[in-house]
Amino acid sequence: MPVDPHIQPLLDQLAASDAPPGWEVGPGPTRELYRALHQMTDPADVPIGKTEDITIPGPGGDLPLRVYTPVAASGSLKCLVFFHGGGFVIGDLDSHDVLCRQLANEAGCKVVAVDYRLAPEHKFPAAVDDAWAALKWVEENAGDLGIDANCLAVAGDSAGGNLSAVVSQLAANAKGGPSICFQLLIYPATRVHSDTQSMQDFAVGYFLERQTMDWFMDCYLPEGQDNSDPRLSPLLAEDLSGLPKALVITAGYDPLKDEGKAYADRLAASGVDVTYKDYPDMIHGFFNMTALSPDAKEAVKDAAKALKAAWPA
């Protein structure tokens, strides 16, 4: 199956571009380029009931969050804690603002997006520490947020999918919670420096490239870091039993496809209620390409439906 014809022109445009790669220009310009790309591939206007930017105490100082309340919301709502993608180096609250709006509206829940610290300014485990701190803060402040603390879910794409898997493991192993009812893992990175077949097949020319991922890891990992640490590589955790219900989504033309599938398989083998969904004509990042592809837009809606169905009664 070829790449979605609505998305192929983007790949053609990127192939013809003379924009320098991130490892040549550094994180700052790459972050700006990433924001500009999202302005092109995301819808221009997605109404939402309310957004509120707040800061909470974090391990490294003030930790920014953005709280989304869906249209026509009333009473105590379910809550999704969202971690954006970007290789732990790029991405922020604005780059994934549209996706968070879509998930909030489609699932009828509040979404709390986390602006965790980025590398290389803040190396591992800063992002994990921020993600964990934000999740615990949301549970502890559920009343003030107008949410049900018993109905917390986590979600993220790519590096954010990694963080979602990691905090789900941390929560399962922690005494007293937080209690997570669902994890939505969107083309998650589950093993550092993996060398899967999909990593080889789609190393170049499909939006996310292997050399870019290597640069991300050079930025993110401290010297001498053990890459088997499950906070980096959740696929390598010894025990995945007892984790919350999961939906794992992959894209057919994504270097991360095989490690996402491997994580879904391990969850299933560990007795976790997991659904695996591959979109064979899609590329990495397609959840942020709903302005380009009707199928990408439907995929976001389907993920939100699964989230909504997973909420406890």
The one catalytic residue among 97, 122, 158, 168: 158
Q: Is 158 a catalytic residue?
A: yes
Distance, CA of 309 to CA of 313 (rounded, Å): 9
Q: Kindly state the helix (H) or strand (E) to which residue 249 belongs, with its residue range.
A: strand 245-251
Give burial (CB, 10 Å; 0-12/13-18/19+) of 169: buried
**Tokens describing residue 85:** 């993608």
What phi and psi, each to the nearest 5 degrees, are found at residue 218?
-60, -35
User: Per-residue b/e over 250-262, b at no fewer than 16 CB within 10 Å?
Assistant: bbbbbbbbbbbbb
Helix and strand numbers, DSSP H then E, in the chain: 11, 8
Residue 250 pairs in a beta bridge with 278
Distance, CA of 25 to CA of 31 (rounded, Å): 10
Rg (CA), the chain: 18
The one catalytic residue among 4, 42, 157, 254: 254
Q: Are 276 and 257 in contact (CB under 8 A)?
A: no
| Residues with catalytic roles | 158, 254, 284
